[in-house]
Amino acid sequence: MCGIVAYLGQKEAYPILLGGLHRLEYRGYDSAGIALMQSSGITMYKKKGRVDELQKFCNNLDTSGSLGIAHTRWATHGEPSEQNAHPHVSEDGSMALIHNGIVENYIILKQQLVNQGVIFQSDTDTEVLVHLIKNVQDKEKVSLPEAVIIALRMVEGTYAIAIISKDDPNQLIVAKKGTPLLIGIGDNEYIIGSDGAPIVEYTKQVIYLEDGDVGVIRIDKPIQISNVNDSKNLHRSPYIQTLELNLEQLEKGGFDTYMLKEIYEQPKAVRDSMRGRINLEKDVVSLGGILEYEQKMLNARRFIIVACGTSWHAGLVAEHLFETLVRVPVEVEYASEFRYRNPVIYEDDVLIAISQSGETADTLAAVEIGKKRGATVIGICNVVGSTMARETMAGSYSHAGPEIGVACTKTFTAQITVLALMALSLAKKKGTISMSQYHKLINDLESAPDKIESVLHYEQQIQRIAQYVATKPNAMFLGRGVNFPIALEGALKLKEISYIHAEGYPAAEIKHGPIALIDTNMPVIVVAPEQHTYDKVVSNIQEIIARKGTIISIVTEGDSVIKKMSKFTIEVPKIDELLTPLVTTIPLQILAYHVALIRDCDVDKPRNLAKSVSVE
């Protein structure tokens, strides 16, 4: 959600903080702020809107100082405004704090502080933290690090925080619970980030804080880390790891937007997600990360897939892959619903959590439930070292590389690839797949990157379709079988980035209601490659045409039937039916992209959204 960056070192902090904010903006972008330790005390600049607004505002202002904290916000409590932007300061202005997460008991804490005469400036939950810490420090007459530990013991919820205080202008304090925080260790300098993006330019040596950790960072002393759950306040030696991230991966590489770059990176992302996992000589598919739990997966009574957003759509595709190939029942659940439903979970269930970021709060909560109830919990995520990677028993990375555009593209196709490999490997070992089908699917999977590449060549043609769709207030996406989730994903992409209202439906289902919406003004995008329900989809299209709906179709190369019924058609290469999502989803991504551009929307940072939703 929100992006956090902090700096302590010998250099000017401001350019480093600002650069970090730009890199973190995909996490939230409704307001931004910065606090710098200067000789006169803490100076703070905040602005509603993008980081660019803050930068413009700071031009010609005094931004000196080699210690500072900065934040880009995705509003939870309190509307986007200067007042609600972080940092938040203590009443006397001597302490400033930035926060990512949610203080769940903030109402009670706030009331207690108000009763003691504290005056709040914002509507945020975060402001409670700075007043609480200050209050503890003043009352208990303890050092700031001690006050932070005592205060955080009273806090329920999640936090990644960074604090500076005029009382000790050479000290930076950080803490985390339930949402990530990394300390980058440079040459006589420290760069703190809510992920690796603001750090990698300066160092690859990082400490991932654990839940409950409080870190005290100074130039003149080694970092001290203690944990709020440790009543003895003992310090532990930090474990330094290497950040698996490259700077080039965070740049646009000649593309106008991250989203377009990431759409075009899909052949590589899919290739990378298969790399080293298919051994043709030995005729095996093997996902190293799950080997230890493979027997549990082979004996699974049921697979429960939990995820949110686009990852949930990948889960729906996996339902087809696993049920068809592995012949074990699959349930696909919205993590946010699953976690509050008291679900029935058996010890021989395997719960597979899918997440690009590995930080989605609801998906992580579902992982915890799975573990508590004794299921085997497997993760599929993209961000190396993420909370999900650490909290699941085993898992596989999707290896798509960093995704910055808020709307998922390459991570979706990479997730499907990993899920297909997982299903194939289990199916072969269980003997639920014929060897000819197994070999055909491997062959087709290996051909997918080239096939995706060939669909990318249709961008101009799709641009023309976008001209048409961009003039409409609504759109309907239809698909069947393994392409129903692709219809959902197509609709999600369009609404996320172009703000056109769109719905995805199983094609046969529209006669039970949505057909009432069909008229000349409703574009109906039908995902209809060669598949066993093709003829049924043809009938569904007839029903729409009879009601004067306009058909835009995604079909297999050489199609003659549906093409004739469509106003526009995009042809995708032939691939095994189970793998068609890998190619049919591409034109829908490009379509949403161009509709959004025509409508002058910010495709990389769509309104109200954030890339990683670390609050529930």
Active site residue 2: yes
Cis peptide before 87 (omega within 30 of 0): yes
Q: Which of 257, 356, 566, 584 is in the footprint of ligand G6P by CB under 6 A?
A: 356
Q: Which of 158, 531, 589, 612 is in the footprint of ligand G6P by CB under 6 A?
A: 612
Q: Which of 76, 84, 357, 580 is in the footprint of ligand G6P by CB under 6 A?
A: 357
Binding positions for ligand G6P, 358-387, rule CB under 6 A: 360, 363
Would you report the helix, strand and coil content of the chain in percent, each value rounded to 5? Answer: 40, 25, 35
Q: CA-CA distance, 518 to 501, in Å (whole number)?
A: 14
Nearer to ligand G6P, 190 or 593 (CB): 593
Phi, psi (5° rounding) for residue 46?
-135, 150
Q: Of the residues 46, 48, 134, 611, which is catalytic?
A: 611
> What's the residue count for the chain?
616
Point out which span in 41-49, 222-230, 353-361, 556-564 binds ligand G6P (CB under 6 A). Answer: 353-361
Binding positions for ligand G6P, 273-332, rule CB under 6 A: 308-311
CB of 9 to ligand G6P, least distance (A): 31
With a CB cutoff of 8 Å and minimum separation 6, the contacts of 400 are: 265, 269, 272, 273, 356, 382, 410, 411, 413, 414
66 with 13: CB under 8 angstroms? yes
Q: CA-CA distance, 129 to 152, in Å (whole number)?
A: 8
Map residues 395-434 to x or -, x wherever contact with ligand G6P holds by CB under 6 A. -----------xxx--------------------------
Question: Shortest Cβ contact with ligand G6P: which residue?
Answer: 309
Nearer to ligand G6P, 553 or 612 (CB): 612
CB of 381 to ligand G6P, least distance (A): 7
Residue 592 zone, left/alpha/beta (φ > 0; ψ -120 to 50; rest): alpha
CB of 266 to ligand G6P, least distance (A): 16
CB of 100 to ligand G6P, least distance (A): 15
Q: CA-CA distance, 185 to 200, in Å (whole number)?
A: 10
* Token pair recorded at residue 583: 């190619």
Decide: is 90 part of the binding site for ligand G6P (CB under 6 A): no
Point out which span in 126-134, 350-358, 451-459, 526-534 binds ligand G6P (CB under 6 A). Answer: 350-358
Q: Which of 355, 413, 498, 580 is in the footprint of ligand G6P by CB under 6 A?
A: 355
Q: CA-CA distance, 296 to 341, in Å (whole number)?
A: 25
Q: Of the residues 2, 308, 408, 601, which is catalytic?
A: 2
Active site residue 611: yes
3-state secondary structure 429-480: HHCCCCHHHHHHHHHHHHHHHHHHHHHHCCHHHHHHHHHHHCCCCEEEEEEC
Nearer to ligand G6P, 405 or 549 (CB): 405
Q: CA-CA distance, 153 to 582, in Å (whole number)?
A: 47
The tally of CA atoms less than 13 A away on the side-chain side of residue 217 is 30
Give catalytic residue positions: 2, 611
Instruction: Enumerate binding residues for ligand G6P (CB under 6 A).
Output: 308-311, 355-357, 360, 363, 406-408, 609, 611-613
